[in-house]
């Protein structure tokens, strides 16, 4: 993709359409799909339509400051890149590309537990702020090990995802025969040959695609038979959060908080922030949209710790809408994967640039000079009450 054609991609929707042309169906669906009927995914996106802004342009917002300070870092805008497993399947060294693009844009990046590269490989890029995402495993020692490795590799925060304790029933992946970790036999590769550009780009990567962090040094793990999902523990409790809190000294952020009750309890367990998220609709189909869950969690937490949100943020205006409802910042998942597939690091830089200019434009229309100026007074009415 030439720089000129990349510049002509002006929206996340266009980035998705381009990614669809480029990627084999199974890889596109891995990112684009969700659980079962994908109701929650659709609702994540469509619920934003219920939030109407009241522009207030006479407040003299000639220039806008989009920065936010969270977890001891100042981010150039209230939007960062959330954890997505197997980003390295979308572009060679996908995780490193996305982290570098985020750092260059002055924002944050969260490395998935299920990254193709390892915690340490990503750290070598020097991209920062960088956060590491982990789960609670049946082998609690493995959770602790990942946290210790992240600390040793200088990560700025730990994200504990709580909504992935079972595998979501992702029917597109089942239909496409996509398994975790992906099998890359002749049949699978043959099926991908219909997208020669992607296949050529990935030709040296495909044999290495797997979950880098799951292979312990000196240990041989059979990625063909390993089922990562069987390693997770649906029996996790707040005690596990407490135990992790003792091990991890930096900011600890809970991802997948939807219920006000869990939000209310989080600060008492030493958690430094929560992310309201339903995993992009990839886990429980029928879960509320994250933007509709946000106000309940914000009010339960009562300002004790920051509340972030992800799910369905496809425009800068969606990020602004979330901030008016009390979010401190937003994260994106799929848009970053589509951008990676289109143009690697430059693609992610482009998608972040699109969000930044959209957020800035909305703030100007709303007369908001800074993020602090985005509050409920900009809403036509409080939604969903």
Q: Which residues bind ligand FMN (CB under 6 A)?
A: 30-31, 44, 82-85, 112-114, 133, 161, 255, 277, 279-280, 282, 310-313, 332-334, 337
CB of 247 to ligand FMN, least distance (A): 19
- Closest Cα partner for 166 from 97, 122, 227? 227
Burial class, 265, CB count within 10 angstroms (exposed 0-12 / middle 13-18 / buried 19+): middle
Q: Contact 78/319 with Cβ under 8 angstroms?
A: yes
CB of 47 to ligand FMN, least distance (A): 12
Q: Which residue number, 323 or 368, has a Cβ lying nearer to ligand FMN?
A: 323
What are the phi and psi torsion angles at 109 (to 5°)? -140, 135
Q: Which residue number, 277 or 324, has a Cβ lying nearer to ligand FMN?
A: 277
**How many CB atoms within 10 Å of residue 18?**
20
Tell me the sheet residues that pair with 73.
Answer: 70
The Cα–Cα gap between 336 and 350 comes to 10
Q: Which residue number, 42 or 56, has a Cβ lying nearer to ligand FMN?
A: 42
- Closest Cα partner for 282 from 147, 114, 116, 155? 114
Q: Which residue number, 100 or 113, has a Cβ lying nearer to ligand FMN?
A: 113
CB of 54 to ligand FMN, least distance (A): 26
Secondary structure element (H or E) that encloses residue 74, with its range: strand 73-75
Q: Contact 164/180 with Cβ under 8 angstroms?
A: no
Residue nearest ligand FMN (C-beta atom): 333
Q: Contact 159/275 with Cβ under 8 angstroms?
A: yes
Q: Which residue number, 49 or 382, has a Cβ lying nearer to ligand FMN?
A: 49
| Summary count for the chain: helices (H), strands (E) | 15, 10
Q: Which residue number, 146 or 313, has a Cβ lying nearer to ligand FMN?
A: 313
Task: Kindly give the pairing relationship between strand 307-310 and strand 130-134.
Answer: unpaired
CB of 368 to ligand FMN, least distance (A): 23
CB of 172 to ligand FMN, least distance (A): 11
- Closest Cα partner for 86 from 254, 208, 238, 248? 208
CB of 362 to ligand FMN, least distance (A): 18
Q: Would you please indicate which residues are annotated as catalytic (active-site) residues?
A: 279
**How many CB atoms within 10 Å of residue 89?**
27
Q: What is the dihedral of CA 134, 139, 141, 145, to 10 degrees?
A: -40
CB of 30 to ligand FMN, least distance (A): 5
The Cα–Cα gap between 362 and 353 comes to 14
Q: Contact 24/194 with Cβ under 8 angstroms?
A: yes
Q: Which residue number, 30 or 101, has a Cβ lying nearer to ligand FMN?
A: 30
Secondary structure element (H or E) that encloses residue 157, with its range: strand 157-161
Considering Cα of 210, then 214, then 216, then 222, what sign does the dihedral take? negative
CB of 300 to ligand FMN, least distance (A): 20
Q: Contact 321/294 with Cβ under 8 angstroms?
A: no
Q: Which residue number, 112 or 324, has a Cβ lying nearer to ligand FMN?
A: 112
């Amino acid at each position: 993709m030439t720089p000129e054609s990349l510049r002509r991609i002006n929206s996340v929707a266009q980035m998705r359409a381009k990614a669809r042309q480029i990627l084999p169906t199974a890889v596109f669906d891995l990112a684009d799909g969700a659980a079962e009927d994908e109701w929650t995914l659709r609702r994540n996106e469509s619920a934003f339509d219920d939030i109407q802004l009241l522009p207030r342009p006479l407040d003299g917002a000639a220039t806008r400051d989009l920065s936010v300070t969270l977890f001891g870092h100042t981010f150039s805008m209230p939007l960062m890149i959330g954890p997505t497993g197997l980003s390295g399947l979308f572009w060679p060294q996908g995780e490193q590309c996305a982290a570098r693009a985020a750092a260059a844009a002055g924002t944050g990046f969260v490395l998935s537990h299920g990254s193709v590269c390892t915690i340490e490989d990503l750290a070598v890029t020097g991209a920062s702020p960088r956060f590491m995402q982990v789960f609670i495993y049946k082998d609690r020692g493995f959770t602790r090990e990942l946290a210790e490795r992240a600390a040793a590799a200088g990560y700025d925060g730990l994200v504990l995802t709580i909504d992935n304790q079972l595998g979501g029933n992702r029917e597109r992946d089942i239909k496409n025969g996509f398994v975790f970790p992906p099998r890359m036999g002749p049949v699978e590769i043959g099926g991908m040959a219909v997208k020669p550009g992607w296949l050529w780009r990935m030709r040296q990567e495909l044999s290495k695609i797997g979950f880098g962090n799951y292979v312990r040094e000196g240990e041989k793990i059979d990625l063909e038979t390993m089922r990562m999902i069987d390693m997770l523990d649906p029996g996790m409790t707040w005690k596990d959060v407490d135990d992790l809190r003792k091990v991890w000294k930096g900011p600890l952020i809970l991802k997948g908080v939807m219920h006000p009750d869990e939000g209310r309890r989080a600060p008492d367990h030493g958690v430094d922030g929560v992310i309201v998220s339903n995993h992009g609709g990839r886990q429980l189909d029928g879960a509320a949209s994250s933007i509709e869950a946000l106000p309940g969690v914000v009010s339960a937490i009562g300002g004790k710790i920051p509340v972030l949100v992800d799910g369905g943020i496809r425009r800068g205006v969606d990020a602004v809408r979330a901030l008016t409802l009390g979010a401190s910042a937003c994260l994106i998942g799929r848009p970053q994967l589509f951008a990676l597939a289109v143009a690697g690091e430059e693609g992610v830089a482009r998608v972040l640039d699109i969000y930044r200019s959209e957020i800035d434009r909305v703030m100007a229309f709303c007369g908001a000079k800074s993020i602090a100026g985005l509050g409920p007074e900009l809403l036509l009415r409080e939604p969903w009450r």
